[in-house]
Amino acid sequence: MADTARLPLVAASPGTARALTIHRFGRPGARPKVYVQAALHADELPGILVAEHLIRRLDAAEAEGRIRGEVVVVPVANPIGLDQMVHGHLIGRFDLAGGVNFNRLHCDLAEAVVQAVDGRLTDDAAANVATIRVALKTAFDALVPAAPAGQGEHLKRLLFGLAHDADLVFDLHCDWDAVMHLYTATASWPDVSDVARQLGAEAVLVAGQSGDVPFDEALSWPWMAVAARYGDRFPVPQGCHSFTVELRGQTDVDDALAAADAANLLAVLVRRGVLEGEPGPLPPARCDASPLEAVDMVKAPAAGVLVYAHAVGTRVEKGAVLGHVVNPLAEDAAARRVPFTAGTSGIVYGRLAQRLVRPGDVICKVAGSEVLAHRKGKLLTA
């Protein structure tokens, strides 16, 4: 059975208490180490169900003595957001205390790590991995004595502390209405193509820095930064492959789907040497990776009711009409039904679930293969 612990969060106000519940499997310090968390955006619930299925499977693997490495599972990564009910609606994406996205502004330690390893790298790749991990922990430990700015900041530090030394990190999210897709680091692809294939990803989005330090990039970017600074002289492997796993859409909370997703995660762990066993044949690839700069974030051209012309998972050509925004109050007949089109050829991998939109709302996402000139800056939001 798992070694289960609770890590208290600093109290937000007198008389209140929240904590993270942590499930640990295998031997602490064993390699490879895998970290899995669910629902950092607390209104994205499919991951919580997947985590429950995964914990049961890991309990069985532990009882059978099949865990070689270490696995840490946080089934509810955001108890703050999960408690943010406003008039019957769960507001879990943003911290109501300050409006910050729970998956932004995580620990940015890349430059500290780059400075710390200066003069300490060698021609031994494994030794360099160990050196970088020590530097990352030292940089993180230097943050701990400082009092967190609030409960949200404390939560981010606890999560980073649990995951910072992992070989593989799975941050389980979901989109509004979507197919299975992944975000990962440019430096991790194609080394992690087996993960995308096993999980059945229909789109894989890769980037170095997408902007505002989401959780997965807080863990992968320090390795990329060290490689960028010293990789021409020393071998610097990508010591942490981190993923944002988008488990389809918000309403895809289903035992059959969750059981299959948990089984696929377990197969990844077997194939990566974390668990003993037979992973089975690797499924065929459903896609290649797309640079995040090649994603067309389609915006609403007008205010009105959103009507889609294509289901998620549909492949479209550049210029294809993806749907219309309908406003029966418009005086001009042409303005009553305004089309929106694809700015690139690719797969419609995600779309807005809400059907009342305002001009400029991101309503649809198409993953292409060609970098789009206007895609600069904060790539996850524009």
Domain ranges of the chain: 3-287, 294-367
The confidence score (pLDDT) of residue 153 equals 94
**Same fold across 3-287 and 294-367:** no
The model's pLDDT over 87-106, given as tens digits with 9 standing for 90+, comes to 999 999 999 999 999 999 99
Handedness of CA 153, 380, 253, 96 (dihedral sign): positive
The answer to whether 233 and 123 have CB atoms below 8 angstroms apart is no
Distance CA 141, CA 11 (A): 21
The whole-model pTM stands at: 0.97
Helix (H/G/I), strand (E/B), else coil: 245:
strand
- Residues 3-287: name the CATH superfamily: Zn peptidases (3.40.630.10)
The amino acid occupying position 49 is L
CA dist 363 and 292 (Å) reads 17
What's residue 2's pLDDT?
81
Give pLDDT, residue 143: 86
Q: What is the pLDDT of residue 144?
A: 74
Task: Report pLDDT digits (tens) over 160-175.
Answer: 999 999 999 999 999 9
Please state which of the four CATH numbers 3.40.50.10420, 3.40.50.360, 1.10.600.10, 2.40.50.100 is assigned to the domain occupying 294-367. Answer: 2.40.50.100
pLDDT of residue 149: 74
Task: Please state the φ and ψ torsions of residue 187, each to the nearest 5 degrees.
Answer: -70, -15
Total residue count of the chain as it appears in this document? 382
CA distance 114 to 147: 25
Distance CA 176, CA 313 (A): 14
The per-residue pLDDT for 147 is 66
**Strand 70-74 relative to strand 19-26: parallel, antiparallel, unpaired?**
antiparallel
Q: Which regions of the chain are under pLDDT 70? A: 146-148, 382
